[in-house]
């Protein structure tokens, strides 16, 4: 059984104005005192209006869901105690006139010096899924095999349509914002771990990035854990949706391992086509078509069905078929989180949107 772990980033909002508020340290301190959040599970992020939570290593999706519900509740309770709300949205729907202060961390401060405007506008929140791999060589082989499925995940998980009070026209504006960093978007293919490491060394030596943690590819090898880290997803409105993606990512990794062991040929997808497919997925979510690795335009629902078919043996092996399939079919019926944000804004304006993204009507 492949173990998984999930990290989620949240935004801290003023409950009246829905503007970001720089209360991350206060929220972390309050959450750290609660018996339902252990030390280290609630972390600071780049900007002081954001916090991040991380689950322990999990063997089952029930464990993932239980920990996410526990951590979401802990952070929401802590936020309420200091006068703000926790928002599970991929991008801040509103921004104030003044930038949110950067967290006083040497690495974050160096990023501010490098790209001050990008840091100011980095009010975006993602969901990262770590899946265990045996070694770096195998991890690179897995990256090569899952990279073409990342645009489908981007489309399914889109949860950031609004920015500065307006609809961007994109389902995942976070994908666009994050894509402005020098090393970002879908990862390239590699010939092996040595090639992966060599190309990173060139980027660091050239000064293109400060360190390996600034490799913002949508999937990469983790430098801290024996995992690959899939980073393409917006943070999800609900813990249930996050569990669905944890199951899908684990199944994709399992399918890649199975194909690698069987010596199945690796399909070729040019980097420019994959980048375009990623942009298209961020633009439309599941409302239109998606671009497959061969360059064909296909209905979004057809691509989601192809993903489920691809990972079906691996979902069955882990006992996740029923839960993940049910959640995927619900997503297809109800739309993406971006669709839900737009419906809330259209029917109830900013108050309804704020209630939705802060979980007042769902789980937090």
Domain boundaries defined on the chain: 98-162+170-348
What does each C-alpha distance from 118 to 124, 176, 200, 259 come to in angstroms? Answer: 11, 12, 22, 39
pLDDT at 363 over 50: no
- Give 172: exposed, middle or buried? Use CB within 10 Å, 0-12, 13-18, 19+: buried
- Give 262: exposed, middle or buried? Use CB within 10 Å, 0-12, 13-18, 19+: exposed
- The span from the CA of 302 to the CA of 242, in Å, is 22
- Give 338: exposed, middle or buried? Use CB within 10 Å, 0-12, 13-18, 19+: buried
| Ordered DSSP codes for 287-346 | SSEEE-TTS-EEEHHHHHHHHHHHHHHHHHHHT-HHHHHHHHHHHHHH--HHHHHHHHHH
- The span from the CA of 20 to the CA of 72, in Å, is 18
Which residues are 9's β-sheet partners?
Answer: 52
Please compute, for residue 75, the number of CA atoms within 13 A of its CA located in the half-sphere on the CB side: 35
Please give the pLDDT value at position 100.
96
Q: Which phi-psi region, left, alpha or beta, contains residue 256 (left: φ > 0; alpha: ψ -120 to 50)?
A: alpha
Percent of the chain with pLDDT over 70: 97
pLDDT digits (tens, 9 = 90+) for 274-304: 999 999 999 999 999 999 999 999 999 999 9
pLDDT digits (tens, 9 = 90+) for 154-189: 999 999 999 999 999 999 999 999 999 999 999 999
Average pLDDT over residues 67-86: 96
- The span from the CA of 317 to the CA of 298, in Å, is 29
Q: Name the band, by pLDDT with cuts 50, 70 and 90, for residue 362.
A: very low
What does each C-alpha distance from 339 to 36, 113, 128, 144 come to in angstroms? Answer: 32, 36, 21, 31
Hey, how many other C-beta atoms are within 10 angstroms of the C-beta on 209?
17
What pTM did the predictor assign? 0.96
Q: Are 41 and 81 in contact, with CB atoms under 8 Å apart? A: no
Closest C-alpha among 278, 279, 281 to residue 338: 281
- The span from the CA of 190 to the CA of 209, in Å, is 19
- The span from the CA of 211 to the CA of 234, in Å, is 24
Q: Which CATH class is domain 98-162+170-348?
A: alpha beta
C-alpha R_g of the chain: 19
- The span from the CA of 48 to the CA of 52, in Å, is 11
Q: Name the band, by pLDDT with cuts 50, 70 and 90, for residue 268.
A: confident
Mean pLDDT estimate for the chain: 95
Q: How far is CA 163 from the centre of its chain?
A: 18
Q: Name the band, by pLDDT with cuts 50, 70 and 90, for residue 36.
A: low
């Amino acid at each position: 059984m492949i173990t998984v772990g999930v990290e989620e980033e949240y935004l801290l909002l003023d409950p009246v104005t829905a503007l970001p508020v720089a209360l991350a340290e206060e929220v972390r301190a309050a959450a750290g005192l609660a018996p339902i959040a252990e030390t280290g599970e609630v972390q600071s992020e780049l900007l002081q209006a954001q916090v991040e939570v991380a689950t322990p290593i999990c063997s089952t999706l029930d464990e993932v869901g239980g920990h996410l519900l526990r951590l979401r509740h802990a952070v929401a309770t802590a936020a309420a105690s200091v006068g703000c709300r926790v928002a599970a949205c991929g991008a801040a729907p509103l921004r104030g006139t003044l930038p949110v202060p950067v967290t006083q961390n040497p690495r974050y401060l160096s990023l501010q010096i490098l790209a001050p405007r990008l840091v100011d506008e980095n009010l975006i929140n993602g969901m990262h899924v770590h899946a265990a791999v045996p070694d770096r060589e195998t991890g690179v082989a897995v990256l090569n095999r899952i990279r073409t499925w990342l645009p489908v995940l981007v489309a399914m998980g889109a949860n950031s349509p609004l920015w500065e009070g307006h609809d961007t026209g994109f389902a995942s504006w976070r994908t666009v914002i994050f894509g402005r960093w020098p090393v970002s978007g879908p990862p390239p293919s590699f010939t092996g771990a040595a090639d992966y490491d060599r190309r990173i060394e060139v980027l660091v030596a050239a000064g293109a990035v400060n360190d390996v943690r600034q490799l913002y590819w949508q999937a990469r090898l983790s430098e801290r854990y024996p995992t690959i880290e899939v980073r393409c997803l917006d943070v999800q409105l609900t813990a249930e949706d996050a569990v669905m993606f944890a199951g899908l990512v684990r199944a994709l990794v399992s399918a890649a391992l199975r194909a690698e062991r069987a010596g199945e040929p690796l399909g070729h997808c040019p980097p420019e086509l994959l980048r375009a497919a990623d942009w298209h997925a961020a633009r439309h979510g599941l409302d239109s078509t998606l671009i497959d690795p061969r360059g064909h335009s296909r209905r979004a629902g057809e691509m989601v069905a192809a993903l489920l078919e691809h990972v079906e043996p691996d979902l069955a092996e882990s006992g996740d078929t029923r839960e993940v399939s049910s959640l995927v079919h619900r997503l297809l019926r109800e739309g993406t989180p971006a669709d839900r944000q737009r419906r809330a804004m259209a029917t109830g304006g900013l108050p309804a949107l704020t209630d939705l993204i802060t979980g007042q009507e769902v789980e937090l």
